[in-house]
Amino acid sequence: EDQVTQSPEALRLQEGESSSLNCSYTVSGLRGLFWYRQDPGKGPEFLFTLYSAGEEKEKERLKATLTKKESFLHITAPKPEDSATYLCAVQLSYNTDKLIFGTGTRLQVFP
Amino acid sequence: DVKVTQSSRYLVKRTGEKVFLECVQDMDHENMFWYRQDPGLGLRLIYFSYDVKMKEKGDIPEGYSVSREKKERFSLILESASTNQTSMYLCASSSPTGDEQYFGPGTRLTVT
């Protein structure tokens, strides 16, 4: 069964304390992996797409990386405004219409 | 700028009522999706559509139906609302290649 697992479920960081969020996947064939940010009461906001192992994407304090089994979202020197839930999703190579989402990591950054 | 809008942010309905949730996108996307999001369960796909008048069941279609009469508009219908349909409903759209889905703000539906 195709599955996406995110860890940790929740993460509390002090402002400036760098860390990483993990998204591991077990799928028959991967076409792409997506990262989204979701603020409370709002819809997910697209951040990155990764297509192949070794690929990296950066945006401000965030950097996403991809291996054959997992993806990491690295947050460097986070600020309180980075507090949100971060979702990852995989797109299957044999069924590109749908995304399979993980349950997310809820990040809180304290000043 | 990419835009997906949903007709209501918050909705309260009674058990047994028929409920319509509307979604409109302005990106000329072929694909549109309806998800529900519940704590601990993540986003689950209810229905999607890859063209006008075309629809496909997602993972949890029971108790729901959809309508796509125009390319930009995708409606989710709860024929007879039940309390276990209380949830956050999210609409999304994407291009035919299926790359990044763009989400609306969500509708928080409460069925009492």
Q: Please answer yes or no on whether A87 and B42 come within 8 Å at the CB atom.
A: yes
- In the predicted structure, residue A73 carries a pLDDT above the cut 90: yes
Residue A100: CB atoms within 10 A of its CB come to 21
CB B79 within 8 A of CB B62: no
Which residue of chain A comes nearest to B104, CA vs CA? A43
Query: Within its chain, how far is the Cα of A47 from the centroid?
Result: 9
- Determine the residue type at B93: S
The residue assigned the tokens 């949830």 is B87
Give me the pLDDT at residue A89, please: 95
Alpha-carbon distance of A92 to B48, in angstroms, equals 16
A28 or B21, greater pLDDT: B21
Q: Answer for the pair B25, B4: CB distance below 8 angstroms, yes or no.
A: yes
Rounded to an integer, what distance in angstroms lies between the CA atom of residue B26 and that of residue B50? Answer: 15
% of chain A surpassing 90 pLDDT: 84
Rounded CA separation B27/B38 (Å):
27
With CA atoms as reference, report the closest residue to A63 among A55, A73, A53, A71.
A73
CA dist A102 and A84 (Å) reads 15
How close, in Å, is residue B48 to chain A by CA atoms? 8
Q: How far is A55 from A72, CA to CA, in rounded Å?
A: 11
Would the pLDDT of B13 be above 70? yes
Record: contact B102-A46, CB cut-off 8 A: yes
Residue B2: is its pLDDT beyond 70?
Answer: no
Check whether A60 has a pLDDT greater than 90.
yes
Q: Which of B56, B100, B106 sits opposite A42 (nearest CB)?
A: B106
- The pLDDT, as a whole number, for residue B1 is 66
Token pair in block for residue A78: 């986070």
Type of residue at B33? F
Residue B35 CA to residue A99 CA, distance in Å, equals 11
Q: What is the mean pLDDT of chain B?
A: 93
Tokens of B104: 């609306």
Q: pLDDT tens-digit profile of B17-49?
A: 999 999 999 989 999 999 999 988 889 999 999
